[in-house]
Structure 1
Amino acid sequence: MTDGTFIGIQPVKDIPGDIRGSQEHALTLWPEISSYVLGLPELNRVYLVGAGGSLSGLHAAQYFLDRRATTPVTSVNSDEFYYRASPGVGPGALVILLSAAGMTPETAKAASWAQERGAAVVAVTLNAEGALAQAVNTAFIAKNGDGNQVLLQLLALAILEREGQNVSTELSALDALPAATETAVQAFEPYAAKIAENMKDVPVTYLIASGSLQGMGTTFTSCFLQEMQWMHAATINANEFFQGAFEVFDKNTKSILYLGEDETRPMAERADRFLEEYSGETFRVDSRELELPGISPELRAFVAPLVFYTISFRLAAHYAAVRGYSLEGRRYMWQFAY
């Protein structure tokens, strides 16, 4: 921990060597996940629950389910979930909770409460010994965050499978994901360095996104920039951008724009046209430009948020290198009781 201490400009850390292995490990859990969801006696609603980066990490799965599932699904902050105490949380509900380290007390409390209410409760985490995994009867354990994202999409596919939908093409895309992610991340490195160098000292970082990439954008600004780099930052939905936020943009404003390949791409393209004319430099991270070998064109939108998860981590690593603040450092989090 740096406890908020400047450690000096550093060379960027190497790309982690466990990305591919973690995704491949997560894919081996598909039979277990499918069996669990198919074996539920009743399923008529789904809650996706987490806090902070884990809440935004649920967004891609929710987007996919919103597009494909007939089963109603909602995502909610862990403490909100507990204190709202929805009467829908009970038999027939599936509650999926995400916590990477598995030690977020609000998420563990929410899990215990939902299980006591008779809901089917599943944890997705990296820590089999953590408070979250220990609070539930069923936990799927990944090796890193890239694996967590795969597990969440597998749970979403299992829900569709239970509804009678054919998910074989999506499963084939996930099988190709580990190699595709490696290729995309390697190719992204020079652009990540360019973005970090140009954006490292802006007074406020605005990141604009839509659809399945909204959560990945929020993870980047709230976790990597606010939490780990102590930078003022915000992710703005591409349509919400035109409901007020665009008024603060001018030729001195720099921003980042995530463009996906899902159905909401026209929203991001509309924002892009405005930024091109009225704003300063915009750094576009466009899913269409990613090299994704083995992924068929019709499935690129499905895997894009999982790849963006990984490249957002790499972008954060480049920020840490040029700003001199380790991603492991915190000023307040974990430093004392709050």
Structure 2
Amino acid sequence: MTDGTFTGIQPVKEIPANIRDSQEHALTLWPEIRSYIVGLTEVNRVYLVGAGGSLSGLHAAQYFLDRRATTPVTSVNSDEFYYRASPGVGPSALVIAFSAAGMTPETAKAASWAQERGAAVVAVTLNAEGTLAKAINTAFVARNGDGNQILLQLLALAILEREGQNVSAELSALTALPAATETAVRAFEPNAAKIAENMKDVPVTYLVASGSLQGMATTFTSCFLQEMQWMHAATLNANEFFQGPFEVFDKETKSILYLSEDETRPMAERADRFLEEYSGETFRIDSRELELPGIPQELRAFIAPLVFYPIAFRLAAHYAAVRGYSLEGRRYMWQFAY
């Protein structure tokens, strides 16, 4: 593990070979997930709990549930969840605690506290032996982050099915996702190389997004750029962009724009029109341009965030190659107690 010092410009790492395998493995957990959620006695509120990249990784599931579920859903940082101590956390609440590596102490503490309050608590993680999985009774374990994203959406689908909704179309789309992801990620490589080369030295990276892609955008700026590349970066909601941030944009400003296919696309298109006229170069990653064989048109918006996840990893890999900084380097994280 490097300390983050310059390691030299180098060829980009190959696309990981385990993306499809992890997604396919996650799909096999559907019967177990469905049985657990449908079997709950009462659920009148859902809390999605995580920290850092895991918190932003919950966003796609929250967006989907906000659009479809009648059960109220709240997404909250792990420590905020614990210290707020909402009286709604009790026997009729479902808490989904997410920690990819499974070792985030704040998330394990929050999950354990919720279980002690009588809530139904499940973990989504990569580590069956991690502190989160060991802190509670039920954990669904994926093989990598792509699998985690599927598990979160399967939990969302189970919540909808518990409400009496038909989720067969979404399940069918998820079955087609592994092959579609392979196609989309490979097709994205030239665009990833272009963005990284052009954005590698900007003073601040602004990434504008909306809707179901907001979380994936935050993961990229806060985890990949700030945490792993030590770059100044921020994700801007496409409407919040017009509530102040657009004032710092001029013809010298470069930025990245995520365009979704969900209901919030007009927000991103509005930002795109402004950027086209008043800003410098904008690098667009448009969900509509993704090659997603086997995914019906009406389900592309549901699937897109799950594809943007590996795409973000590929974009980060290209940044690491052209900047010469390993994605494993940290200045503070894991280096000492804080």
- Normalising by the smaller structure, the TM-score range is over 0.9
| One-letter amino acid of the structure 2 residue matched with residue 173 of structure 1 | A
Partner of 2:115: 115
Encode CA deviations 1:131-182: one digit per residue, 9 max, x unaligned: 0000010000000000000000000000000000000000000000000000
- Paired residues of 1:3 and 1:332 also in contact (CA < 8 A): no
**Distance of 1:48 and 1:313 partners within structure 2:** 23
Secondary structure of the 1:95 match is strand
- Paired residues of 2:192 and 2:318 also in contact (CA < 8 A): yes
Task: Please give the residue correspondences for 1:129-148 in structure 2 after superposition, counting only pairs within 5 Å.
Answer: 129-148=129-148
**Distance of 1:285 and 1:210 partners within structure 2:** 12
- Paired residues of 1:256 and 1:282 also in contact (CA < 8 A): yes
* Cα distance, 1:76 vs structure 2: 0.2
Secondary structure of the 1:331 match is coil
Partner of 2:301: 301
* Cα distance, 1:249 vs structure 2: 0.2
- Paired residues of 1:44 and 1:71 also in contact (CA < 8 A): yes
State yes or no: 1:46 paired with 2:46.
yes
Identity %: 90
Partner of 2:62: 62
State yes or no: 1:290 paired with 2:290.
yes
**Distance of 2:131 and 2:329 partners within structure 1:** 23
**Distance of 1:177 and 1:268 partners within structure 2:** 25
Task: Please give the residue correspondences for 1:169-180 in structure 2 after superposition, counting only pairs within 5 Å.
Answer: 169-180=169-180
**Distance of 2:327 and 2:133 partners within structure 1:** 25
Partner of 2:83: 83
**Distance of 1:44 and 1:25 partners within structure 2:** 30
State yes or no: 1:262 paired with 2:270.
no
Secondary structure of the 2:97 match is strand
Secondary structure of the 2:325 match is coil
* Cα distance, 1:200 vs structure 2: 0.1
RMSD of the TM alignment (CA)?
0.3
Partner of 2:161: 161
**Distance of 2:100 and 2:163 partners within structure 1:** 28
**Distance of 2:23 and 2:14 partners within structure 1:** 18
**Distance of 1:62 and 1:209 partners within structure 2:** 16
- Paired residues of 2:221 and 2:233 also in contact (CA < 8 A): yes
**Distance of 1:297 and 1:158 partners within structure 2:** 23
Secondary structure of the 2:172 match is helix
Secondary structure of the 2:231 match is coil
Task: Please give the residue correspondences for 1:26-37 in structure 2 after superposition, counting only pairs within 5 Å.
Answer: 26-37=26-37
**Distance of 2:310 and 2:148 partners within structure 1:** 12
- Paired residues of 1:202 and 1:254 also in contact (CA < 8 A): yes
Partner of 1:96: 96
**Distance of 2:290 and 2:325 partners within structure 1:** 28
Secondary structure of the 2:299 match is helix
* Cα distance, 1:3 vs structure 2: 1.1
- Paired residues of 2:127 and 2:133 also in contact (CA < 8 A): yes
Secondary structure of the 1:253 match is coil
- Paired residues of 1:255 and 1:281 also in contact (CA < 8 A): yes
- Paired residues of 2:4 and 2:328 also in contact (CA < 8 A): no
Encode CA deviations 1:78-130: one digit per residue, 9 max, x unaligned: 00000000000001100001101100000000010000000000000000000
- Paired residues of 2:142 and 2:151 also in contact (CA < 8 A): yes
Where in structure 1 are there 5+ consecutive unaligned residues?
Answer: none
**Distance of 2:100 and 2:148 partners within structure 1:** 8
| One-letter amino acid of the structure 1 residue matched with residue 307 of structure 2 | V
**Normalising by structure 2, what TM-score?**
1.00
Partner of 1:218: 218
**Distance of 2:10 and 2:330 partners within structure 1:** 18
Secondary structure of the 1:10 match is coil
Where in structure 2 are there 5+ consecutive unaligned residues?
Answer: none
**Normalising by structure 1, what TM-score?**
1.00
Encode CA deviations 1:173-217: one digit per residue, 9 max, x unaligned: 000000000000000000000000000000000000000000000
* Cα distance, 1:4 vs structure 2: 2.1
The list of structure 1 runs, each at least 4 consecutive aligned residues, that deviate by more than 6 angstroms after superposition, is none
Secondary structure of the 1:127 match is coil
* Cα distance, 1:23 vs structure 2: 0.3
- Paired residues of 2:257 and 2:283 also in contact (CA < 8 A): yes
**Distance of 1:325 and 1:81 partners within structure 2:** 34
* Cα distance, 1:54 vs structure 2: 0.2
Partner of 1:227: 227
Partner of 2:207: 207
* Cα distance, 1:240 vs structure 2: 0.1
- Paired residues of 2:48 and 2:58 also in contact (CA < 8 A): yes
